[in-house]
Amino acid sequence: MREDVIKAENLTKIFNRSVVAVDHISFSVREGEIFGFLGPNGAGKTTTINMLITVLKPTEGTASILGYDIVREANEVRKVIGVVHQEYTADEDLTGYENIMLCADLYGIPRDVARKRALELLDLVDLTAFKDRRVETYSGGMRRRLELACGLINRPKILFLDEPTLGLDVQTRAATWEYIRRLKEEYGMTIFMTTHYLEEADALCDRIAIIDHGKIIVVGTPGELKDSLGGDIITISIKEEEDVTDIIKSIENVKEVRKENDAYRVKAAYGEVTAPLLIEALRRRGFTVTRLSLTEPTLNDVYLEYTGRAIRDSEESKEAFRMHRITLRRARGG
């Protein structure tokens, strides 16, 4: 049975007694899954992660990681988690290898174990050839991979990834996803990640929580979230003239059928399962299906449905975003 490895209850962070960054959120993450926090910039994703990784103390509420309380047993939490921050945190003046070894020292991993593991991790993220070069010569993708390797030096049970592909180009992003999947398979870790890229959440996450203005709006698998919108759209055409609306309606999961010109527009849950059933049913009654197309709702549709706006629109203007960041930074700094 899969256990809940992260449990958050009413987790809240208020900066400077006025800026509510995270507003009473509760959720749990199961062992072995990739759990994604999806939301626009400034929604409270990083603040949540910072509380879970014990860098920030919650103003209210609590959370536990593998049963350890994030405030009272912060040091135990730190030992069992790995963190890959949004920024590149490696020391530019040191080499890739030195950076990993520095992390190992901070975790107190025995030197001989650390040395072996560092080389293994560098190999895993394809940086072996560059291990003795200073990090300042690394490209964005290489830095991101080095961050991943550093985050894994203590063989964490839970890995936190904060915007793992922020600022990477499309190709590097896809490659990074590959590395994350590889890590998950290789080490069977639970991964908690934040992102504001819908494609990323869709491609990587087993479950997603949509967060906006510091609140969790909905939690579910990408499929569930999409299905919650009423399902996929199947457009189907048949050779025969007869009306088959009733036949289509009789099939399981079909919610709505509309005849548009020569085609039937069918709204159904689990479109990829329903479509074959549809073809099968029609064929059994002697109809010939000539065309079929299946359109799945995207996460963008989900986002639109739950937040009332598209994720791209909800990204505030650059200036507003900058001001927001400054306010947050000040609040954190003071």
Binding residues (CB under 8 A) for another protein: these are 3-5, 50, 53-57, 66-68, 75-76, 78-81, 83, 85-94, 98, 102-103, 105-110, 113, 150, 154-155, 157, 329-330, 332-334
- Shortest approach of another protein to residue 271 CB, angstroms? 37
Give strand pairing partners of 13: 22
- Shortest approach of another protein to residue 49 CB, angstroms? 10
Q: What contacts 24+ positions apart, CB below 8 Å, involve 279-282?
A: 279/236, 281/247, 281/248, 281/250, 281/251, 282/236, 282/238, 282/244, 282/247, 282/248
| CA gap 180, 176 in Å, rounded | 6
Nearer to another protein, 24 or 134 (CB): 134
| CA gap 288, 51 in Å, rounded | 58
Nearer to another protein, 57 or 285 (CB): 57
Q: Which two tokens stand for residue 23?
A: 């507003």
- Shortest approach of another protein to residue 194 CB, angstroms? 14
- Shortest approach of another protein to residue 27 CB, angstroms? 15
Upper half-sphere CA count for residue 194 (Cβ side, 13 Å): 24
Contact (Cβ atoms closer than 8 angstroms) between residue 237 and residue 68 = no
**Dihedral of the alpha carbons of 270, 276, 282, 287, in degrees to the nearest 10:** 140
Nearer to another protein, 15 or 303 (CB): 15
Nearer to another protein, 74 or 263 (CB): 74
Cα distances (Å, whole numbers) of residue 199 to 38, 195, 202, 311: 11, 10, 5, 12
Q: Which two tokens stand for residue 12?
A: 């809240």
- Shortest approach of another protein to residue 189 CB, angstroms? 12
| CA gap 223, 298 in Å, rounded | 10
| CA gap 159, 82 in Å, rounded | 5
Nearer to another protein, 85 or 207 (CB): 85
| CA gap 280, 240 in Å, rounded | 16
- Shortest approach of another protein to residue 106 CB, angstroms? 4
Contact (Cβ atoms closer than 8 angstroms) between residue 79 and residue 39 = no
Nearer to another protein, 25 or 66 (CB): 66
Nearer to another protein, 80 or 219 (CB): 80
Nearer to another protein, 283 or 330 (CB): 330
| CA gap 45, 52 in Å, rounded | 11
Count CB neighbours of 334 within 10 A: 7
| CA gap 65, 321 in Å, rounded | 31
- Shortest approach of another protein to residue 333 CB, angstroms? 5
- Shortest approach of another protein to residue 70 CB, angstroms? 12
